[in-house]
Each structure stands twice: as C-alpha cells, then as structure tokens.
Amino acid sequence: MDAVKLKSFIRDIPDYPKEGIIFKDITPLLAHPLAIQSAVDLMAEPFKNERIDFIAATEARGFLFGPSMATYLDAGFIPVRKPGKLPSETIAHSYELEYGTDTLEIHKDSIFKGAKVLIVDDLLATGGTVGATKALVESLGGEVVGFSFLIELSFLKGREALGNPRINAVVKY
C-alpha cells in the first residue's frame, strides 16, 4: 500500500482538541492490519541500510509505530514519556507549546554514548515534541540519525525546528 492509499485511512476531525484545529485521526488506519504494516514499512524503509541502534518514540502515538519499526530495523526501542511514567532514574527536558510548556523524560541509562538513534512519532507539526526528544537523546550521548513520521503538517514548518538530520514523512498535508 502506498502513501496515497494510506492517506485515505486518515480522517479529519474539525475543532479537536480545540476550535480551529483540524485533528488528523489515525484510528481508521489502525483498524486495518495491512494499513498498519504499510505505515511501518514506509516509515522504516528509508533507514533500512543504516546502522540504527535504537528507535526513540514519544508517547502516546509514537508508541504505536516505534516497536514495530525497531523490529523491522533490528534495533532496540526507547520510550520517551511524560513526567512520572518511567520507573527508573530519568532526565527531563521541558519545551514550549503554543499554549504553555510541557516536559518529556527518558531513562538515564537507555542510550550508550555514540548510539545511532532514529526518532519516531505519528505526526510532525511544529517540531516541539520531537525536538525535545532529540535534546534528550543528545544529552545522553546518542546521535540522532533522523526522524520518521507517518504524517507531516508542512504548513507548520516543523522541519525547520529539527536541524539537519534526515526527515522522512509518509503523508504530507
């Protein structure tokens, strides 16, 4: 299944989570096994010939694709979570949202120095969440080799916030 067909499984939800936002809902895609597998394949394939030690994915929707991509790329999986959700010692990074701030955490011992890390999420919007994930990975000595997303909202210019690593987005709006 190609990106054009996958796009047909993504529905718009107007005014969610607040008025003026058009939410890109992937739950119809998740209801179809072939669509899920195609999404994982298209998100992982551009990186299949590279050394990837870890997939780092942000909760919650990044978790839907990250473990399968880790299996595809023969890599480990690292969850990046909201504060207080990880059981061992963590480091945190706070970042700006359009309506405030948020914080993400990662286990302190999750990445070895020099590890090659691919950051995964369902959606690239402004780049704040994955930018925070990048900062966490780099603070532990990991090297971000790229980013992979199911959806990119190009008009929000999130690529500009991420610097130079490779960016793969399957479906673009």
Task: Write out the catalytic residue numbers.
Answer: 61, 98
Q: Cβ atoms within 10 A of the Cβ of 72, count? A: 19
Please name which of 97, 101, 104 lies closest in space to residue 80, comparing C-alpha atoms: 104
**Residue 147 has which token pair?**
């980013």
**Please, what's the b/e burial string for 32-57 (b: 16 or more CB within 10 A of its CB; e: otherwise)?**
eeebbebbbebbbeebeeeebbbbbb
The CA distances from residue 87 to 54, 81, 83, 137, in Å, are 19, 11, 10, 18
